[in-house]
């Protein structure tokens, strides 16, 4: 299972950091990153990736292939 990735769209809201069951979200100088060796996509902890569930920004978290986990329009309800 490939780790998720936080993009430059991240607004550093801190919502995801405390809920990661693996402590995989690292913050340095308000730049949020996911440690690819620690992220399990929440397997064994939750059905869906918890960071994705709570992230308020479309496109801020992507998969290894670069696909937005919350694609445009999914959170705002506005057409992409
Ligand atoms: S998918 Fe789960 S394990 Fe991976 S960074 Fe997000 S909350 Fe942590
Ligand atoms: S929840 Fe989303 S926007 Fe907030 S810090 Fe995490 S990745 Fe960034």
Q: Please state which of the four CATH numbers 3.10.105.10, 3.30.70.20, 3.90.330.10, 3.40.50.2000 is assigned to the domain occupying 1-80.
A: 3.30.70.20
pLDDT at position 29 is 96
In angstroms, the CA 78 to CA 2 distance is 29
pLDDT at position 4 is 98
Q: Is the CB of 12 under 6 A from ligand 2?
A: yes
pLDDT at position 78 is 87
Instruction: Check if the beta carbon of residue 68 is closer than 8 Å to that of residue 56.
Output: no
Q: Is the CB of 20 under 6 A from ligand 1?
A: yes
Where along the chain do its domains lie?
1-80
Give residue-wise pLDDT tens across range 28-56. Answer: 999 999 999 999 999 999 999 999 999 99
Average pLDDT over the chain reads 96
What average pLDDT does this structure show over 52-72?
A: 97
| Ligand 1 centroid, distance to 41 Cα (angstroms) | 5
pLDDT at position 79 is 79
In angstroms, the CA 77 to CA 80 distance is 9
Ligand 2 nearest atom to the CA of residue 54, by list position: 1
Give residue-wise pLDDT tens across range 9-31. Answer: 999 999 999 999 999 999 999 99
pTM for the whole structure: 0.95
């Amino acid at each position: 299972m490939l780790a998720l990735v936080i993009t430059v769209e991240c607004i550093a809201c801190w919502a995801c950091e405390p809920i990661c069951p693996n402590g995989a979200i690292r913050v340095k100088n308000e730049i949020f990153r996911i440690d690819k060796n620690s992220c399990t996509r929440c397997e064994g902890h939750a059905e869906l990736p918890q960071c994705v569930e709570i992230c308020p920004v479309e496109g801020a978290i992507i998969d290894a292939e670069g696909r937005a986990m919350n694609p445009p329009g999914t959170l705002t309800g506005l057409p992409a």
